[in-house]
Structure 1
Amino acid sequence: MTSTQAPSRAPIRGKARKLLVGALGALSSPHHLDRYLELADPLLATASNRARITHIDTSVHGSTTLAVRPARPCRFVPGQHVQFAMVIDGVRHVRTFSPAIMPGSREMVFTVGTRHGGLVSGHLAEHARVGDIVEVGDGAGDFVLPKSRPSRLLMISGGSGITPVLSMLGSLAESGATAVTFVHYARSPGHVPRRAELDALSSLPNVEVVLVHTRGEGGHLRGRFERAHLDAVAPWFADTPTYVCGPSGLVGRVRELYAETGSTELLHTEEFTPPAYVVDPDDVSGSVSFAESGIVAANSGATVLEQAENAGLTPEHGCRMGICHTCTAIRSSGCTRDIRTGETDSEPGARIQICVSAPIGNVTVEL
């Protein structure tokens, strides 16, 4: 006996929705349809996927955990980051955060580290409230698990870098086929976010959770990352796929160890803090020309993004650390230095990430 399955109506509904939105948009001219829809409910907006904050937890030192319920499901793979936008004092600000999906729910959970002087992270920690509206995008980035799951994995995180790792751990826990050792670094017990989730994961037979406190008492281990930590809990690390997310200091020390053991190809990393950058005096000369705006400014040696903002421009950007590629622009002439690697490039017409590119001498950028 053969059986047939009725074709999905989802594509039909999607096309019908687009046709309806297009027709309503034409009727609402000269204003955008969203201007009227958001009067009834901000989540009805069509130009972006808006979400309502449903929960905020600021009890953990140095981070804010919030849950949001988007109007439409977001497409992302565990471990990826999404564009997160919110309006503060009438200005829309975009950042890049890694979410997790609440089991059995469409709600997305973010843990955001509170940076000193950070506009968005500070607002979330001090002023955001349940019911506030934000925007979320679809997933991007390659910090994801392989399609063919290995029998064993090592995961390391620090601070709010726990979020993408927890997201991946959640998908692994569902099958139970992969044994995972998860090592998380935090200053003290009071700096460990998502503790209930960690306790639930540690009760699973295929997951071992190791807490390392860099300053406070308690924890399974103490101090900053060193080889002795992995020798104690994962002596097989050099032969195992490893995923690391956290501050640049932690990620850098892990990279050094894996380079020493010849295991770099097994290491997958993601940093959530801007790279440390000291302006090279030899680069501070000439001017930066923003061709589309007609603005020319003396080259200070700072990144193109910073110099554009200091010149009064507001180029689109997200993470400010070279992850999300939102700030990509064309460098029509001149030479820039990648502040993450120190490498220079002067190919005319190249697309550069202005948040991690510093001009050397005279540079023209299409902004």
Structure 2
Amino acid sequence: MFTEIASREHAVPTRTPSRLLSLFEAMATPHPLDRYLELVDPMATVRDLRAEVVEVRRPTPGSVTLTLRPTRQWDGFRCGQFVRIGVVIDGVRHARCFSPAGSEHGAGIELTVKAHGGGLVSGYLYRHARVGLVVGLSQADGTFVLPRPRPSKVLLISGGSGITPVISMLRTLVDEGHRGDVTLLHYADRADAVPYLRELRALSDGRSNVNVVLAYTHSRGGDLAGRFCAEHLRAAAPWFAQAQTYLCGPPALMRSVRELFDERNLGDRLHTEEFSPVLAPTDADADGSVTFAASDVTARNVGTSLLEQAENSGLTPEYGCRMGICFTCTTVKTSGCTRNLRTGELDHDPDKPIQLCVNAAVGDVTLDL
């Protein structure tokens, strides 16, 4: 209700006839109509989806929790999905992907952002986010979601900032009055590095089917100590072999969980979301050149991702995640061979859309960029 009402305050009336709207947009040339409306009110949009920060909290060192009020174009999200947030830094718009942490039945959009070293957008939001800030917003996307009907047993495993999509799942299940077994196993260095610590404890109190297990890797005081292992899994969810498991965290945790599930032939019950890409190392023997045809730029192929090579050549292709999730950086490869940095797969097909962030050139490559 809050989202719907609040969004309408700044909405251009939806009854405006499409022909009249097209006329207004034609008269506004050379800029879209929204570029003029934002001079009056950044939340007054015809087509652009945006959101206003209505609450800011900093729950742990280096993280910030934002509550956003989206404009009327917002379609909502499914727990586990991600959105792209756009901010202008030094006159340049940058976008990154973040997973909403709130229940899919809640009001507004809640994001908890960890300011990573070198993270341009995350660092900006941590330092400068304030009530009234307006950010760009995309519709929710991603396939890391709970199915319907909900599984009878759900195991959620997370580490670090990977907690955001799984706490969204937990909050959603609680809001729905889910009666099946639900366990959240979360890994952190210590207690003060756990976002939502108090709420996590509260969610499990008084609910016999909800269990929150905190494992601290560098301190005492958690329910478990050390890194993920089979003993942790049995202690947290002895019924894990009958559950659907949802995993999001740093590469080491992801790898350990995958290996254990594969050893037990449970890989089909494990669903994962990466927030740190696991890419092949740079090819030191790379040769050839990369041609960005639309920009009339050619550079020597140095073996790094095509996104990095484009940026090093002075280009600014749009991207959101840098890890092959959001497809924002997809560009047509007109000729040449590329290698997928996650799988090692080679692609020789011409005139094919590829993701710049997870592909590297093998010899000469031409892109429509």
State the alpha-carbon separation in 1 of the partners of residues 17 and 117 from structure 2: 44
Residue 74 of structure 1: CA displacement? Answer: 3.5
State the alpha-carbon separation in 1 of the partners of residues 132 and 45 from structure 2: 16
Residue 46 of structure 1: CA displacement? Answer: 2.4
Q: Is the 8 A contact 2:101 2:164 kept in 1?
A: yes
**Cα deviation digits, residues 255-288 of structure 1 (max 9, x gap):** 1111111100000000111324421223x11111
Deviates more, 1:19-28 or 1:157-166: 19-28
Structure 1 consecutive aligned stretches of length 4 or more whose deviation exceeds 6 Å: none
Aligned residues: 354
Unaligned runs of at least 5 residues, structure 2: 1-12
- The residue that corresponds to 1:324 in the other structure is 326
- The residue that corresponds to 1:44 in the other structure is 44
CA 250–104 in structure 1, closer or farther in 2 if over 3 Å, else same: closer
CA 349–36 in structure 1, closer or farther in 2 if over 3 Å, else same: closer
Residue identity over aligned pairs, in percent, reads: 51
**Cα deviation digits, residues 141-164 of structure 1 (max 9, x gap):** 110111122211111011111111
| Correspondences of 1:137-148 after superposition (within 5 Å) | 137-148=138-149
Match of 2:352 among 326, 330, 350: 350
One-letter amino acid of the counterpart of residue 310, structure 1: N
State the alpha-carbon separation in 1 of the partners of residues 364 and 104 from structure 2: 52
CA 68–145 in structure 1, closer or farther in 2 if over 3 Å, else same: same
State the alpha-carbon separation in 1 of the partners of residues 56 and 269 from structure 2: 36
- The residue that corresponds to 1:360 in the other structure is 362
- The residue that corresponds to 1:208 in the other structure is 211
**1:249 pairs with 2:248:** no
- The residue that corresponds to 2:6 in the other structure is none
Residue 36 of structure 1: CA displacement? Answer: 3.2
Q: Is the 8 A contact 1:337 1:359 kept in 2?
A: yes
- The residue that corresponds to 1:262 in the other structure is 265
Residue 15 of structure 1: CA displacement? Answer: 5.3
Deviates more, 1:334-343 or 1:55-64: 55-64
One-letter amino acid of the counterpart of residue 258, structure 2: R
State the alpha-carbon separation in 1 of the partners of residues 41 and 197 from structure 2: 34
- The residue that corresponds to 2:287 in the other structure is 285
Q: Is the 8 A contact 1:63 1:160 kept in 2?
A: no
**1:239 pairs with 2:242:** yes
- The residue that corresponds to 2:316 in the other structure is 314
Residue 28 of structure 1: CA displacement? Answer: 3.8
| Correspondences of 1:1-367 after superposition (within 5 Å) | 14=14, 16=16, 18=18, 21-72=21-72, 73-101=74-102, 106-173=107-174, 174-203=176-205, 204-282=207-285, 284-367=286-369
Q: Is the 8 A contact 2:153 2:242 kept in 1?
A: no
Residue 236 of structure 1: CA displacement? Answer: 2.4
Residue 18 of structure 1: CA displacement? Answer: 4.5
Q: Secondary structure at the match of 1:144?
A: coil
State the alpha-carbon separation in 2 of the partners of residues 104 and 228 from structure 1: 35
State the alpha-carbon separation in 2 of the partners of residues 182 and 16 from structure 1: 47
State the alpha-carbon separation in 2 of the partners of residues 151 and 35 from structure 1: 48
Q: Is the 8 A contact 2:152 2:243 kept in 1?
A: no
One-letter amino acid of the counterpart of residue 188, structure 1: R
Residue 206 of structure 1: CA displacement? Answer: 2.2
One-letter amino acid of the counterpart of residue 54, structure 1: V
Give the TM-score normalised by structure 2.
0.90
Q: Secondary structure at the match of 1:175?
A: coil
Residue 17 of structure 1: CA displacement? Answer: 6.3
- The residue that corresponds to 1:5 in the other structure is none
State the alpha-carbon separation in 2 of the partners of residues 103 and 306 from structure 1: 35
State the alpha-carbon separation in 1 of the partners of residues 27 and 292 from structure 2: 38
Unaligned runs of at least 5 residues, structure 1: 1-12
Q: Is the 8 A contact 1:114 1:125 kept in 2?
A: yes
**Cα deviation digits, residues 296-319 of structure 1 (max 9, x gap):** 100011000000011111111110
